[in-house]
């Protein structure tokens, strides 16, 4: 059932591409660059964030006023604030598209699990940075979010009260609260860059930028949105006040909407459960490749005798699965006799694509279940017309 | 149909192609002997990724008597293995230059990029390729 659903989703995803390619050339399909788009918007967030940071004052009395000052009195301040907000939304859209596309097109299993797992952790940190951003303004919305979060954290068994204190920096909201929120906003955002290193470590030449047209289009869109729909604050937070509702940013604040129907603790539990499920997805599907209708050709194997250490496979492997090591002994073939290096395939990274085989000019790499010899025979059979078929 | 795959002289135009498992859906596309439906002179070898194909294999196909040879990968940008089709396109470019120096017409090698749902477009492209080969004349053999 589940498998059928995913097959259907895969087919639909690719059907969508067919539609997009009626309008755009193949390699401009933005869905092929969702990771790059996410990186673009993240970069915009960092740059605009630094500009906002220069004006921000993390204190109960000063925070709201400092954001207002930026919005009203600093030239183009309102544009920067808007860009920061809309880039955050665009970023979330991009990583969700990226997540679903990688999921539906099977780019998350087996040797690709490390990218998926690091991606989920990136998602957690992005969400954290996103919602703490709304706390910093210290308007009525910030106040409500704070109290809902404290309620949710308190209902965690055993460590709940401690978590709530860590969150607001003491038993209740105090002078330490906003500096703490500022850290909870900027800290996870910086951590994203460490996590991105993990995300990219198994990818050769990750495409971290979309085509220039999309970069310009994305930036233009942010400028226009920020100018036409300026980002604003609500009314300033009042100690003791209990505001009725708040404008919702659906990309980051949806769990707080749930709190209208369920205890905040349960909304938190739901979010945690969803993310935990996301992290185990690559390990939940137990079928073998055969059951999924794939030919499992086995991971690439280096033929020690023939490898010359030329490094061509190392440059072409898209998953950084080939390491060049100092050759322990000379190879047997003439070309390999004087080699300095030997190629080694790292099994946990190899996705069985065979790209290295196409790269190797010395017959020193094989996919175990599709040998060079057999392919050559089939080529010759296909190239020589069976006499009967000829006229 | 069969007559369409012959040269003016009546020799059949043999083609050997490589088709990526993740590109065009191969169900209903191949005869039991791995030739294309409606094009019995076109043999298709399915590969795990277009990037798996050794340029040497394309040369082998031409040397063994095929009039032409092609590789079909996923749409550019959508390679399951991220870069297989770009890498293959590059390799084919280089091979064409090398073959041109040996007086082999580079047009005998083609690269296609079609996705799961593009069966018809793929078949049309192969037919067009065969038509071009017919104009060039049969293979070496
Ligand atoms: C901060 C947000 C993220 C950024 C900037 C980002 C960026 C990227 C980039 C640039 C690539 C390389 C694409 C290529 O060159 O083919 C990539 C690959 C990948 N990402 Fe992300 N990503 C992010 C979040 C995520 C999330 C949330 C997930 C899913 C849980 C995810 C899953 C993956 C997977 C599975 C791949 C490997 C795709 C493949 O093997 O072809 N990423 N990411
Ligand atoms: S391409 Fe072949 S010969 Fe060159 S290093 Fe890799 S395995 Fe060895
Ligand atoms: S088959 Fe070769 S190119 Fe593909 S992941 Fe494995 S080592 Fe890398």
pLDDT tens, position by position, A192-224: 999 999 999 999 989 999 999 999 999 999 999
Residue A1 lies in a domain: no
CA pair distance B67, A237, nearest whole angstrom: 78
Predicted confidence (pLDDT) per residue in A14-54, tens digit: 878 877 877 888 778 888 999 999 999 999 999 999 999 99
Is there a single domain that holds both residue A104 and residue A177?
Answer: yes
Residue A347 lies in a domain: yes
Total structural domains within chain A = 2
**Boundaries of domain holding A343:** 301-383
- Say if B78 is an interface residue toward chain A (CB within 8 Å): yes
Nearest to A383 among B6, B64, B118 (CB): B64
The torsion region of residue A100 among left (phi > 0), alpha (psi -120 to 50) and beta comes to: alpha
Is there a single domain that holds both residue A377 and residue A309?
Answer: yes
Residue with tokens 């500022």: A182
Predicted confidence (pLDDT) per residue in A316-334, tens digit: 999 999 999 998 888 888 8
B105 Cα to the center of ligand 2, angstroms: 29
Residue A2 lies in a domain: no
Top mean-pLDDT range of A37-51, A348-362, A368-382, B25-39 = A37-51
Residue A13 lies in a domain: no
- Say if B141 is an interface residue toward chain A (CB within 8 Å): yes
Partners of B109 in the β-ladder: B69
Please list, in sequence order, all residues whose beta carbon lies within 8 angstroms of the beta carbon of residue A389, skipping any fewer than 6 positions away.
B12, B40, B41
Residue A389 lies in a domain: no
Residue A184 lies in a domain: yes
Residue with tokens 């309620």: A151
| Min Cα separation B59/chain A (Å) | 10
Asked if pLDDT for residue B30 goes beyond 50, the answer is yes
Asked if pLDDT for residue A130 goes beyond 90, the answer is yes
Q: Which ranges constitute the DSSP H helices of chain A? A: 2-23, 34-53, 63-72, 77-104, 113-136, 140-154, 160-168, 177-200, 212-228, 250-258, 264-284, 312-316, 355-359, 372-383
Amino acid A390: pLDDT: 42
pLDDT band for position B11 (cuts 50, 70, 90): low
Amino acid A386: pLDDT: 57
For chain B, which domains are there? Answer: 2-131 (3.40.50)
- Say if B75 is an interface residue toward chain A (CB within 8 Å): yes
CA pair distance A347, A299, nearest whole angstrom: 7
pLDDT band for position B134 (cuts 50, 70, 90): confident
Ligand 1 atom with the smallest distance to the CA of A351 is 40
A117: domain CATH number is 1.20.810.10
| Substitution candidate for ligand 2 out of A336, A343, A367 with most atoms within 8 A of CB | A343
The ligand 1 site (C-beta within 6 Å) comprises A 35-36, 38-39, 42, 95, 98-99, 102, 107-108, 112, 115-116, 119-120, 122-123, 126, 192, 199, 203, 206-208; B 82
Amino acid A389: pLDDT: 45
The answer to whether A376 contacts B61, with C-beta atoms less than 8 Å apart, is no
Name the token pair of A77.
């301040």
**pTM for this predicted structure:** 0.89
- Say if B19 is an interface residue toward chain A (CB within 8 Å): no
Residue A391 lies in a domain: no
Amino acid A293: pLDDT: 66
Is there a single domain that holds both residue A122 and residue A266?
Answer: yes
pLDDT band for position B2 (cuts 50, 70, 90): very low
Q: Which ranges constitute the DSSP H helices of A137-203? A: 140-154, 160-168, 177-200
| Substitution candidate for ligand 3 out of A346, A355, A370 with most atoms within 8 A of CB | A355
Residue A288 lies in a domain: no
Distance in angstroms between the alpha carbons of the first and the last residue of chain B: 23
pLDDT band for position B139 (cuts 50, 70, 90): low
């Amino acid at each position: 059932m589940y498998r059928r659903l995913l097959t259907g989703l895969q087919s639909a995803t690719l059907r969508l591409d067919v539609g997009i390619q009626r309008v755009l050339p193949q390699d401009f399909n933005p869905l092929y660059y969702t990771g790059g788009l996410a990186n673009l918007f993240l970069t915009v967030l960092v740059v605009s964030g630094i500009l906002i940071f220069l004006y921000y004052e993390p204190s109960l009395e000063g925070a709201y006023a400092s954001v207002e000052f930026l919005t009203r009195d600093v030239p183009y301040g309102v544009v920067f604030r808007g860009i920061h907000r809309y880039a955050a939304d665009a970023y979330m859209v991009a990583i969700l598209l990226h997540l679903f596309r990688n999921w539906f097109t099977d780019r998350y299993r087996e040797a690709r699990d490390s990218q998926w797992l690091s991606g989920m952790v990136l998602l957690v940190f992005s969400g954290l940075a996103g919602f703490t951003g709304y706390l910093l303004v210290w308007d009525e919305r910030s106040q409500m979010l704070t109290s809902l979060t404290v309620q949710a954290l308190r209902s965690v068994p055993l460590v709940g009260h401690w978590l709530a204190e860590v969150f607001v920096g003491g038993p209740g909201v105090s002078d330490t609260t906003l500096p703490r929120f500022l850290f909870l906003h900027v800290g996870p955002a910086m951590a994203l860059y460490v996590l991105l290193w993990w995300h990219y470590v198994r990818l050769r030449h990750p495409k971290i930028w979309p085509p220039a047209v999309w970069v310009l289009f994305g930036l233009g869109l942010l400028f226009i949105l920020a100018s036409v729909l300026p980002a604003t604050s609500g009314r300033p937070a009042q100690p003791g006040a209990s505001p009725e509702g708040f404008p919702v940013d659906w990309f980051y604040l949806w769990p707080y909407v749930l709190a209208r129907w369920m205890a905040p603790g349960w909304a938190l539990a739901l979010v945690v459960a969803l993310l935990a499920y996301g992290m185990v997805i690559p390990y939940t599907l137990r079928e073998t490749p055969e059951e999924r209708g794939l030919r499992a050709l086995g991971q690439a194997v280096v033929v020690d005798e023939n490898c010359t250490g030329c490094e061509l496979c190392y440059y072409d492997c898209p998953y950084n699965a080939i390491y060049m090591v100092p050759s322990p002994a000379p190879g047997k073939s003439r070309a390999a006799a004087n080699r300095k290096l030997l190629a080694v395939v790292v099994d946990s990274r190899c996705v069985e694509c065979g790209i290295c085989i196409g790269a190797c000019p010395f017959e020193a790499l094989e996919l175990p279940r599709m040998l060079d010899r057999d392919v050559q025979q089939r080529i010759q059979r296909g190239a020589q017309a069976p006499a009967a078929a000829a006229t | 149909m069969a007559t369409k795959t012959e040269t003016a002289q009546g020799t059949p135009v043999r083609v050997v192609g490589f088709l990526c498992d993740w590109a065009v859906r191969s169900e209903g596309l191949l005869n039991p002997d791995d030739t294309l439906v409606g094009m019995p002179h076109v043999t298709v070898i399915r590969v795990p990724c277009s990037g798996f194909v050794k340029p040497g294999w394309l040369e082998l196909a031409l040397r063994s008597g095929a009039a032409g040879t092609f590789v079909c990968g996923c749409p550019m940008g959508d390679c399951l293995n991220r870069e297989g089709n770009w890498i293959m396109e590059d390799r084919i470019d280089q091979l064409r230059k090398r073959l041109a120096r040996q007086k082999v017409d580079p047009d005998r090698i083609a690269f296609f990029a079609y996705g799961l749902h593009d069966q018809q477009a793929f078949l049309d492209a192969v037919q067009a390729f065969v038509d071009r080969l017919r104009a060039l004349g049969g293979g070496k053999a």
